[in-house]
């Protein structure tokens, strides 16, 4: 039976590109989705059996039941994945954002501020699912001092690739293109940070973009569904809708601890072993001292504390 790649997914159908390089086709799942999955022989930590939605990048087996009428028979095992959990009291089941991608590019912009806690959530989710996280700071013209900021430099210090771009002028896009050439890369971030503008420039296709609101400097969300596009130099990119919140699944304290290894290392010098690094409450806190001396960004500590609280709550079965 033929095999193809999902390039756009909707609740009741999806677009598939066949491996034989034929034209895109529309296919629907045969029966209940949970029955189509091929269970992993050796599931890696973090594999979410609950995330049964198909996603761009999924590899599927399909048949032509009738002329022009295609049915999906099986969804093959994923090699990598990015899973998002809705946040809040009415949160829904985890959702797969992309499957089988190599990289996750997190696009941020100073409109008006860059929320590094969001970057950390995306990065942790990418690491959990086997993707390589990359940070892109777009609209650099709004704040030319961003490349020198310590709270952004820390990502480079930890070995992650960081790019500073201005999509409308093309600044930084050539370097970014070389980084992801020949690979499958998903682009994520808040609404209005310029994902679609970047991808329009990189793919040569007119991907819808929204105008910027003059007062807030925020762009309007234009991407309403995820879609895979091919790069002229080889490789694929995925444009995803902007989201306000990105919840982590199966978050473990050990993962947070390893991700924030810089804070963990400094904290070994705190006077008290159970130091929580709270402002004005931590006498002898080496982490607070590092912030005062400019060796650690306050925003990075806040992100660490928030994610640690969520990991602790999940461990104890709290919302």
Q: In the chain, what are the domain boundaries?
A: 3-75, 81-239, 253-315
For residue 56, give both structure tokens. 């761009």
Q: Transcribe 156-190 into DSSP letters.
A: HHTT-EEEE-BTTTTBTHHHHHHHHTTSEEEEEES
Q: What is the mean pLDDT of residues 181-209?
A: 90
Q: What is the mean pLDDT of residues 231-235?
A: 92
3-state secondary structure of 141: helix
CA distance 106 to 92: 23
Quick: pLDDT tens for 236-257. 999 988 665 666 766 666 788 8
Which CATH number does 3-75 carry?
Answer: 2.40.50.140
Q: What is the mean pLDDT of residues 204-214?
A: 62
Whole-number CA gyration radius for the chain = 21
pLDDT of residue 46: 52
The separation between CA 281 and the C-alpha centre of its own chain, rounded to angstroms, equals 34
pLDDT of residue 114: 85
pLDDT of residue 43: 60
Which CATH number does 253-315 carry?
Answer: 1.10.40.50
CA distance 185 to 132: 9
Which CATH number does 81-239 carry?
Answer: 3.40.50.300
How many alpha carbons fall within 13 Å on the CB side of residue 151?
A: 19
């Amino acid at each position: 039976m033929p095999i193809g790649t999902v390039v756009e997914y909707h609740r009741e159908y999806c677009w598939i590109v066949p491996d034989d390089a034929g034209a895109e086709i529309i296919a629907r799942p045969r029966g209940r989705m949970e029955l189509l999955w091929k269970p992993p022989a050796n599931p890696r930590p973090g594999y979410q059996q609950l995330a049964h939605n198909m996603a761009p990048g999924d590899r599927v087996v399909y048949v032509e039941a009738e002329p022009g009428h295609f049915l999906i028979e099986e969804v093959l095992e994923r090699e990598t994945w990015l899973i998002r959990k809705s946040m809040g009291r009415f949160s829904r089941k985890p959702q797969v954002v992309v499957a089988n991608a190599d990289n996750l590019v997190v696009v941020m912009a100073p409109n008006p501020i860059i929320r590094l806690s969001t970057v950390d959530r995306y990065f942790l989710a990418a690491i959990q699912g086997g993707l390589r996280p990359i940070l892109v700071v777009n609209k650099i013209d709004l704040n030319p001092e961003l490349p020198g900021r310590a709270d952004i430099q820390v990502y480079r210090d930890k070995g992650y690739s960081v790019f500073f771009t201005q999509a409308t002028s093309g600044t930084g896009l050539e370097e970014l293109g070389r980084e992801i050439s020949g690979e499958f890369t998903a682009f994520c971030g808040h609404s209005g940070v310029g994902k679609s503008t970047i991808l329009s420039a990189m793919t040569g296709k007119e991907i819808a973009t929204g105008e910027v609101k003059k007062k807030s400097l925020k762009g309007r969300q234009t991407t309403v569904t995820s879609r895979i596009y091919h790069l002229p130099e080889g490789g694929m990119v995925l444009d995803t809708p902007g989201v306000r919140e990105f919840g982590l699944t199966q978050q473990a304290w050990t993962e947070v601890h390893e991700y924030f290894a810089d804070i963990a290392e400094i904290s070994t010098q705190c006077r008290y072993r159970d130091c929580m690094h709270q402002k004005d409450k931590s006498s002898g806190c080496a982490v607070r001292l590092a912030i005062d001396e400019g060796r650690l960004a306050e925003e990075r500590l806040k992100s660490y504390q928030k994610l640690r609280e969520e990991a602790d709550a999940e461990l104890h079965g709290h919302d």
